[in-house]
Amino acid sequence: MKLKNPLLCLFAGVMVLTSCDMQKWKESGCDGYRLITQKGGATLGYSPESGVKIIYKDGYAFKDLDGDGELDIYEDWRLPAEKRAEDLAGKLSIEEIAGLMLYSNHQAVPATSYDISPYNGKPYSAGEAKPWEITDHQKKFLKDDHLRHILVTIIESPEVAARWNNAVQAYVEGLGHGIPANNSSDPRHSAKADDEFNAGGGGKISTWPSTLGLAATFSPQLMERFGEIASEEYRALGFATALSPQIDIATDPRWYRFSSTMGEDPRLAADLARAYCDGFQTSKGDAEISGGWGYRSVNAMAKHWPGGGACESGRDAHYGFGKYAVYPNGNLALHKIPFLEGAFKLKGKTGAASAVMPYYTISYGQGSENVANCYDPDIITRQLRKEAGYDGVICTDWVVTADELHPGIHGGKPWGVEHLTVAERHYKALMAGVDQFGGNNDMKPVLEAYRMGVEEHGEEWMQARMRVSARRLLLNIFRTGLFENPYLDPAHTVEVVGCPEYMAEGYQAQVKSTVMLKNHNNVLPLKGRKKAYIPQRYCPEYKNFWSGTVPESKVSPVSASLGSKYFDLVDNPEEADVALVFIESPKGGWGYSMDDVKNGGNGYLPISLQYNDYTATTARQTSIAGGDPYENFTNRSYRGKSTSTANRCDMELVVNTKKAMGGRPVIVSVKISNPFVMKEIEPYADALFVTFDVQNQVILDLATGRYEPSGLLPFQMPADMETVEAQAEDTPRDMRCHTDSDGHTYDFAYGMNWSGVIKDERTERYN
């Protein structure tokens, strides 16, 4: 599909020509903004409402962003981005720099969730605001706190996103030095299981497997292609920064964030990280400004330095109960490989990921002091800045400077510096080498930190320290062309985001990501039209990771309209030729219980990767790390304790379906979040798939032979929970793996196609 150039206005309007010597430009009216196109020069977008003026020099047009009537270095698009960033960093006040150092908390467009902000003093529900208008809170942090980095989460539609972007850019264009907003997003391309693919229908955005699913393709080429498509969609939505990729190697199978990684192998993760960043950051052809950067580029923020996958016993550091990463085998260096050999060593001209986010964890015993990574000068300045030679932006993870509420309550994450004030935490992070504070809309603690620095080091030294960070932050805005044209054509946005071509490519990636683990007696692909039984899946009520209650429900994995395109659907297994069972991997808890605390325990429980109840008889007697202001002990062991899995009924559904089907085949598809103990369900499956946030239609296409499976496991499947307890949190591929009833072992890089176990160039390279 040939898409229109987003820099050209698509709306009909009267061309305005201004006479001037050797004029090389022309101006047109667009949907809410003006566009100046120049022969041999930059395209400029501006809002007449912002008050910004245009300067004409040497036959070209420039934006007078600071309103002084002069063409400043930073306003001259002919100059290198590095020189422009250096110039502007030297002009900014300390208050403006403090604002640049802020990265907003989560913003929904419109403000109907998260921080629900009024519009001109009234809630959105009053019906007086358009969905793309700027909220009162946003106006405050943009104007009063000089914030320019916004994290956008839920959006109503692509058109709304484009119009909201334009409203924000018009608002900030007339403030101070006219620094545009650098809007950003967490990953947003994963598919919904019950969606039906419709190449002609488009969508809010193209749908792909999760990052772990893309890893299961073992294809850096596909990962780079995803980055190219995702970056075009991101820029069409107004996002110039991606809070991704997550390149922690997932060395503990229990970790909550396992499903967002690129698997547990450092070399595979490095190759995929490099491809991801190249795809997102590289602009080509007319879209390139310089050095591979340009109007198609999206800054990649690689996370989480120095690797967050080694959390003790798999507990996650969003909570105090998971604040420690441990290294029983001393393998910190392995966790850095996806950064040093991947995100920092790109094939494309941009060279390296433009930003890095440290993880919340205290990398226990690996730095100069046992504090969270962003506060440790050894981990940030020595290991990342000096040893790795990294000079991009370092942004903390979200709300690391806020106060902890309790190890079992989600709140601030000031691990290791709980005793410091909020301002002191900002100062400590700045001194460690951090440039930016995630989830902070308020510049006051940054200014307090600045005053602390002046008192300790003198004003000249501290100003220089702040301007170093300002240069880095501004460079990422200059290189993506936002200073010249941050505006979007809503019609182009609607056309490109979720377009048929990209939806089709995303669906094919979903197919390629799916791993077939078992195909007993070559039951697949199914021949001829079959009578199929697809049972409903019962989902019991449970607490999610954020302690919210997920109500019980009954889910039909495949709609009747979709299923009938492939099978004659029947309601009773006795009538079926084949059964297809869709379940999820075990939901075995997060490793902590407030109820256990109330009952006199230490709060710590095992995280189970099996469906049946689990008692941790072989867990560590004494934890490697421990300690919290709310705890009067340091041993976080859970040895001898038991836990239950929220979805044991998934296992029972497989077992009961197999019994009901007798000798007729049962095909099982597991939506996987973490590796899990397969022995509870594998013997009851004739064919077995694992999927990574894909549409269930993929399984219908594979089972009926429309496509052939090709995915490989980017991790190991443990034989049992004793194996999980015995493995080391910091070590990849160190588990005894499950061997199925056909004699196949579910190890790293294992997968099957119609011919049997896959052996190809991928398995040769990574095994």
| 267 contacts 211 by C-beta, under 8 angstroms | no
- pLDDT tier for residue 196 given thresholds of 50, 70 and 90: low
What was the pLDDT predicted at 231? 98
Q: What is the pTM of this model?
A: 0.95
Distance CA 422, CA 280 (A): 34
Ranges of each domain in the chain? 96-189+201-495, 514-756
Q: What is the pLDDT of residues 437-491, one digit of tens each?
A: 999 999 999 999 999 999 999 999 999 999 999 999 999 999 999 999 999 999 9
> Rounded to the nearest 10 degrees, how much is the dihedral formed by the CA atoms of 509, 510, 512, 514?
160
CA atoms within a 13 Å half-sphere pointing along the CA-CB vector of 722: 2
Q: Average per-residue pLDDT in the chain?
A: 95
- Is it the case that residue 530 has pLDDT exceeding 60? yes
Task: Given CATH 3.20.20.300, say whether it is the number of domain 96-189+201-495.
Answer: yes
Strand 241-242 vs strand 542-543: parallel, antiparallel, or unpaired?
unpaired
Strand 553-555 vs strand 537-539: parallel, antiparallel, or unpaired?
antiparallel
- Is it the case that residue 9 has pLDDT exceeding 60? no
| 8-state DSSP, 261 | S
Using DSSP, state whether 578 is helix, strand or coil: strand
The pair of structure tokens assigned to 705 is 């032979």
Q: What is the pLDDT of residues 387-428, one digit of tens each?
A: 999 999 999 999 999 999 999 999 999 999 999 999 999 999
| 185 contacts 237 by C-beta, under 8 angstroms | yes
38 forms bridges with which residues in the sheet? Answer: 25
- Is it the case that residue 135 has pLDDT exceeding 50? yes
525: preceding bond cis by omega (within 30 degrees): yes
Distance CA 430, CA 304 (A): 18
| 194 contacts 562 by C-beta, under 8 angstroms | no
| 504 contacts 191 by C-beta, under 8 angstroms | no
> Rounded to the nearest 10 degrees, how much is the dihedral formed by the CA atoms of 296, 103, 248, 647?
-110
Using DSSP, state whether 667 is helix, strand or coil: strand
- Look up residue 602 and give its amino acid: N
| 419 contacts 371 by C-beta, under 8 angstroms | no
Contacts of 556 (CB under 8 A, 6+ apart): 194, 534, 536, 537
| 8-state DSSP, 197 | P
Q: What is the pLDDT of residues 357-379, one digit of tens each?
A: 999 999 999 999 999 999 999 99
The pair of structure tokens assigned to 485 is 């044209």
Distance CA 348, CA 282 (A): 7
- Is it the case that residue 10 has pLDDT exceeding 50? no
Contacts of 762 (CB under 8 A, 6+ apart): 218, 219, 712, 749
- Is it the case that residue 21 has pLDDT exceeding 60? no
| 74 contacts 472 by C-beta, under 8 angstroms | no
What was the pLDDT predicted at 25? 77
Strand 578-584 vs strand 553-555: parallel, antiparallel, or unpaired?
unpaired
337 forms bridges with which residues in the sheet? Answer: none
Q: What is the pLDDT of residues 296-337, one digit of tens each?
A: 999 999 999 999 999 999 999 999 999 999 999 999 999 999
- Is it the case that residue 179 has pLDDT exceeding 70? yes
What was the pLDDT predicted at 203? 56
- pLDDT tier for residue 199 given thresholds of 50, 70 and 90: very low
Contacts of 308 (CB under 8 A, 6+ apart): 248, 255, 257, 317, 325, 359, 360, 361
| 39 contacts 52 by C-beta, under 8 angstroms | no
| 733 contacts 265 by C-beta, under 8 angstroms | yes
What was the pLDDT predicted at 6? 45
- Is it the case that residue 282 has pLDDT exceeding 60? yes
Calculate ∠ Cα 182-166-114, nearest 5°. Answer: 65
| Count of other CB atoms within 10 angstroms of residue 693 | 23
CA–CA distances in Å: residue 304 to residues 95, 275, 319, 335, 351: 28, 17, 16, 10, 19
569 forms bridges with which residues in the sheet? Answer: 532
DSSP conformation letters of 411-438: ----TT-TTS-HHHHHHHHHHHT--BEE
Calculate ∠ Cα 609-614-617, nearest 5°. Answer: 110
CATH number of 514-756: 3.40.50
Q: What is the pLDDT of residues 693-712, one digit of tens each?
A: 999 999 999 999 999 999 99
CA atoms within a 13 Å half-sphere pointing along the CA-CB vector of 224: 15
Contacts of 2 (CB under 8 A, 6+ apart): none
Q: Which of 404, 326, 416 is nearest to 375 (CA)?
A: 416
What was the pLDDT predicted at 454? 98
The residue-averaged pLDDT of 198-203 equals 48
- Is it the case that residue 663 has pLDDT exceeding 50? yes
- H or E element: which one contains 690? strand 687-691
Q: Which of 617, 678, 677 is nearest to 642 (CA)?
A: 617
What was the pLDDT predicted at 204? 86
